[in-house]
Structure 1
Amino acid sequence: MPASPSTARAINDRLALRLLQQEGPLTAGQLKQLTGLSRPTVADLVDRLTASGLITVVGEAGARRRGPNARLYGIVADRAHLAALDVRTQGVLVLVSDLLGRVLAETSVPIGGDTGTGPAVEQAMTAVERALKEAGADRLHTVGIGAPGLVDPATGDLRDSAGLPAWHRSLAAALQDRLPGARVSVENETNLAALAEQSEGAARDRDTFVLLWLGHGVGAAVVLDGTLRRGASGGTGEIGFLPVPGTDALPAATDCGGGFHSLTGAAAILTLASRHALPTPPSPDGAAAAEVVRAAVAEVTGVPGDAGRSGSAGAQDDPGSVAARRRRPPDAGTAPEEGPAARFLRALADRVAVGVASVVAVLDPGCVVLGGEVGQAGGAVLAGLVEERLRRMSPLVTEVRASTLGGTAVLRGALLSARERAQDELFAPPGPAGG
Structure 2
Amino acid sequence: MARPAGSSKLLRAMNESAALAHLIDPGRLTRADLRRLTALSTPTISEVLRRLTDAGLVGVVAHQPRRRPGPNAEIYAANPDAAYAAAVSIRDVGSGDGPSVSAALCDLAGETRARFECDVDFRNTDPGTALAGVLKRLQGDQERLRYVQLGISGSYDRRTETIGHTEVPGFQKPGLLPELIKELGVPIGVDNDVNLAAIAERRHGVARNSDGFALLWLGDEGLGLAIDIGGTLLRGARGGAGEIGYMPLVAADGRRDLQDLVGGPAVLALGHEHGISGRTPGEVVSNAGGAFFTELADRVAVGLAAVIAVLDPSLVVLAGQVAQAGGRPLRDAVDQAMLRAAPLESAIEVTSIDDDAVLLGALDAGLGTVREALISDIRDS
Question: After TM superposition, is the score higher than 0.5?
Answer: yes
Q: 2:286 aligns with which of 286, 294, 314?
A: 294
The answer to whether residue 150 in structure 2 is matched with residue 145 in structure 1 is: yes
> 2:110, 2:367 within 8 Å by CA — same for their partners in 1?
yes
Q: Does the residue aligned with 2:344 lie in a helix, a strand or coil? A: coil
Q: Does the residue aligned with 2:65 lie in a helix, a strand or coil? A: coil
Q: 1:370 aligns with which of 318, 329, 334?
A: 318
CA–CA distance in structure 2, aligned partners of residues 350 and 225 of structure 1: 29
Aligned in 2, Cα 1:395/1:75: closer, same or farther, shift over 3 Å?
same
- Specify every segment of 5 or more residues in structure 2 that has no aligned partner in the other structure, as ranges: 95-99
Q: Deviations over 1:215-247 (max 9, x none)?
A: 111010101122111111111111111134657
CA–CA distance in structure 1, aligned partners of residues 229 and 325 of structure 2: 26
Q: Does the residue aligned with 1:427 lie in a helix, a strand or coil? A: helix
Alignment correspondent of 1:336: none
CA–CA distance in structure 1, aligned partners of residues 69 and 104 of structure 2: 40
Alignment correspondent of 2:371: 423
The answer to whether residue 263 in structure 2 is matched with residue 260 in structure 1 is: no
Residues matched between the structures, number: 369
The letter of the residue matching 1:132 is Q
Matches for 1:185-264 after TM superposition, within 5 Å: 185-215=189-219, 216-244=221-249, 246=251, 248-250=253-255, 258-264=256-262
Aligned in 2, Cα 1:149/1:50: closer, same or farther, shift over 3 Å?
same
Whose helix fraction is larger, Structure 1's or Structure 2's?
A: 1
The answer to whether residue 133 in structure 2 is matched with residue 130 in structure 1 is: no
CA–CA distance in structure 2, aligned partners of residues 11 and 392 of structure 1: 55
State the Cα distance separating 1:122 from its structure 2 match: 3.6
Q: 1:157 aligns with which of 159, 162, 168?
A: 162
CA–CA distance in structure 2, aligned partners of residues 247 and 187 of structure 1: 36
State the Cα distance separating 1:100 from its structure 2 match: 1.6
Of all paired residues, the percent bearing the same amino acid is: 37
> 1:58, 1:73 within 8 Å by CA — same for their partners in 2?
yes
Aligned in 2, Cα 1:396/1:8: closer, same or farther, shift over 3 Å?
farther
Alignment correspondent of 2:117: 108
Q: Deviations over 1:248-268 (max 9, x none)?
A: 444xxxxxxx21111110001
Matches for 1:289-368 after TM superposition, within 5 Å: 289-296=281-288, 341-368=289-316
> 2:17, 2:378 within 8 Å by CA — same for their partners in 1?
no
CA–CA distance in structure 1, aligned partners of residues 69 and 129 of structure 2: 54
Aligned in 2, Cα 1:222/1:66: closer, same or farther, shift over 3 Å?
farther
CA–CA distance in structure 1, aligned partners of residues 12 and 339 of structure 2: 52
Q: 2:90 aligns with which of 87, 90, 100?
A: 87
- Specify every segment of 5 or more residues in structure 1 that has no aligned partner in the other structure, as ranges: 251-257, 282-287, 297-340
State the Cα distance separating 1:52 from its structure 2 match: 2.1
Alignment correspondent of 1:96: 105
Query: Which segment drifts farther, 389-398 or 195-204?
Result: 389-398
Whose strand fraction is larger, Structure 1's or Structure 2's?
A: 2
Aligned in 2, Cα 1:346/1:31: closer, same or farther, shift over 3 Å?
same
CA–CA distance in structure 1, aligned partners of residues 342 and 40 of structure 2: 50
Aligned in 2, Cα 1:399/1:368: closer, same or farther, shift over 3 Å?
same
> 1:7, 1:429 within 8 Å by CA — same for their partners in 2?
no
Aligned in 2, Cα 1:264/1:40: closer, same or farther, shift over 3 Å?
same
CA–CA distance in structure 1, aligned partners of residues 291 and 372 of structure 2: 50
State the Cα distance separating 1:289 from its structure 2 match: 0.3
CA–CA distance in structure 1, aligned partners of residues 218 and 325 of structure 2: 10
CA–CA distance in structure 2, aligned partners of residues 65 and 116 of structure 1: 69
The answer to whether residue 35 in structure 2 is matched with residue 32 in structure 1 is: yes
> 2:29, 2:77 within 8 Å by CA — same for their partners in 1?
yes
CA–CA distance in structure 1, aligned partners of residues 25 and 240 of structure 2: 32
Aligned in 2, Cα 1:172/1:233: closer, same or farther, shift over 3 Å?
closer
Aligned in 2, Cα 1:393/1:62: closer, same or farther, shift over 3 Å?
farther
Aligned in 2, Cα 1:172/1:407: closer, same or farther, shift over 3 Å?
farther
> 1:92, 1:111 within 8 Å by CA — same for their partners in 2?
yes
CA–CA distance in structure 2, aligned partners of residues 140 and 69 of structure 1: 35
TM-score (norm 2): 0.88
Q: Deviations over 1:165-215 (max 9, x none)?
A: 2257598567534532x1111111111111111111121111310111111
TM-score (norm 1): 0.78
Instruction: State the superposition RMSD in angstroms.
Output: 2.6
Q: 1:388 aligns with which of 336, 341, 356?
A: 336
The letter of the residue matching 1:145 is L
Aligned in 2, Cα 1:151/1:397: closer, same or farther, shift over 3 Å?
same
State the Cα distance separating 1:347 from its structure 2 match: 0.9
> 1:247, 1:263 within 8 Å by CA — same for their partners in 2?
no
Alignment correspondent of 1:72: 75
CA–CA distance in structure 2, aligned partners of residues 68 and 42 of structure 1: 18
Aligned in 2, Cα 1:197/1:162: closer, same or farther, shift over 3 Å?
closer
Aligned in 2, Cα 1:54/1:265: closer, same or farther, shift over 3 Å?
same
CA–CA distance in structure 1, aligned partners of residues 65 and 309 of structure 2: 55
CA–CA distance in structure 2, aligned partners of residues 127 and 217 of structure 1: 24
State the Cα distance separating 1:363 from its structure 2 match: 0.5
State the Cα distance separating 1:385 from its structure 2 match: 1.8
Alignment correspondent of 1:276: 274
> 1:107, 1:127 within 8 Å by CA — same for their partners in 2?
no
